[in-house]
Every structure is written in C-alpha cells, then in structure tokens.
A and B are shown apart, each in its own frame.
Chain A
Amino acid sequence: MEEGVTATQVVFWILAVVMLISAIGVVTAGNIVYAALFFIASLAGVAGIYLILTVEFIALVQLLIYGSAVVILILFALMLTRARERPQALFGRSRPLGIAAALGLLAALIGGIVATTWTTPESSTAFEPVGLQAIGDAIFTLWIVPFIIVGVLLSIALDGAIMLASPDEDDN
C-alpha cells in the first residue's frame, strides 16, 4: 500500500467518480426518466466496486436484483404515475434546508471517518477473495433462520404489493 497508487486504486477511483456523479444526477435531474437512468449507472458503479472488493457474489446479486428487477419496477411506477395535465415541480419548498442538512450529515460522517484510525492490512496477500462456497456455507448454516424469515418476508411483501396495486371491484 505504501509504494504508491496501484492499478486497483485507479480503477476504484474511476468507478467511484462515475458512481458519485450518477448519484448526483439521480437527485438533481430535472426529468424523472433521466433520474432512473442515472440510477442504473450508479448501481453499475457500486457493482464494480463490489468486484474490486473481490465479492463477485454480491456484485452478481446487485446486477440481477437491483439492476434488472428493481429498476424495471421503478420505471413502471414512473410511467404509471406520471401526471399528464401539467408539468410538475420536482423539488419541494424545503430544498435549501434539505441541501444544508445533507451537507451537515456529510461533514459529520467524514469528520468521524477521518478522526478514527483504521488498521489496513499491510500486504495485499491479506485479502483473500471470498468464495461462493464460503458464502453459501454461511447463509445455509449460520444464517439459515434469518434466510428463511427473509424469504417469507419477501413473499408476503410481494403478495401485499399485488393486493395494494390491484383494482378492487366493490369500490368503484
């Protein structure tokens, strides 16, 4: 780590800059479809950083669940809830206050990070890539009960979403 900037760090910073610029695009874009497209770019940046951190499984899950399923759901919701008659203001009245609060939060977080001394492992051999088999062992032995609960939660949530969004015949 001391011999200077390695290629991994260069790739990390490129991905980080792409991710952060896309994230700024998500929260400032004047068009809601552009915001969704910026969101896809930001998710791809996060997946790239997962790859740099040698967790391919989470990168794959990120691309498959976030990059496809969640983004398609959000695009559908954007198309279904677009008000047709008048152009809408996309920002609320409390925008300056919100920006100030976010900047304060950022200052607090970065201050906390800088004030703490982190121990980074010395040699790059300390980073062993986490294999798929190890993750599967952990999920299906140590974390099996949370895994089952999260599966039940997911199916209940999806059923509830269908219930909420489906039209009811008795009301109208």
Chain B
Amino acid sequence: MPPLEHILVVNAVLFAIGAMGVLTRRNAVLILLSVELMLNAVSLNMVAFAVYGHVDFGNITGIVFAFFIIVIAAAEVALALGIVVRTFRNRATANVDEVNLLKW
C-alpha cells in the first residue's frame, strides 16, 4: 500500500486540476466535467482515510460517504445537463459568459 501522504498529494493535484478547469473553461458542460473531477478527488480522499483508519466512526463510514457522493453526483449531472440543454434551446449558447440575463 502506498503511504497516505502520497494518496493525499495525488488527490490534491487532481482537485486543483479540476478547479483550474472550472475557473478557465467557458462551456457549461466542460465546467461540469471539471466539477466531476473535483468530486472524484474528494471521494477518493474519503476512501483513503477510511481504509487507513483515520476516522472515529470505524472503517466503513468513509466508504459509504464515497458511495453517496457518487449517487448525488449522478443526480447533479442529470439536472445540470437538463438546464444546459434548456439554456441552449432558449439562448442558442452553452457558454456561461453569454448567459447574462440576470446580470445588469
């Protein structure tokens, strides 16, 4: 097994890459992909802590949390893509900086 620090550093790099995607992309679907990368980093972190025994509730809790994160991410992707498709139908764009109806 790799040491815990190595896993945490890899997850931090993955989280920062996802944050970079969120901050630099224009397309809403690509921003969503980057958010998924960040969620993956977080759930991998939780599983790592659970397996290495750093939680008080016992080993299972982090794994159950990773499972819940995956399920909620699926719900979030479905809703966000519905919104993106709707926006594209109304405004003919999927770029977040061109959807500025609420901005003045």
Contact = CB atoms under 8 A, between A and B. Distances in A.
Main DSSP-derived SS at the A contact region: helix
Interface residues of B, number: 76
A150 B57 CA distance: 21
Contacts of A32: 27, 29-30
Given A26-B34, A109-B16, A139 B67 contact: yes
Contacts of B6: 9, 12-13, 16
A121 B20 CA distance: 34
B92 interface: yes
B63 A92 contact: no
Contact of A165 (B29, B85, B92): B85
Contacts of B25: 27, 90-92
A161 B28 CA distance: 16
Main DSSP-derived SS at the B contact region: helix
Interface in B1-47: 1-10, 12-30, 32-34, 36-37, 40, 43-44, 47
A13 B7 CA distance: 9
Given A20-B13, A130-B51, A154-B74, A74 B24 contact: no
Contacts of A78: 29
Query: Interface centre among B5, B25, B73, B93, by most A CB within 10 Å?
Result: B25
B81 interface: yes
A35 B23 contact: no
A106 B84 contact: no
Given A81-B29, A106-B16, A130-B63, 8 more contacts: A9-B1, A26-B33, A27-B25, A35-B33, A58-B66, A102-B16, A161-B79, A162-B82
Q: Which 6 pairs show the lowest CB-CB distances between chains A and B?
A: A98-B23, A27-B21, A102-B20, A106-B16, A164-B82, A157-B75
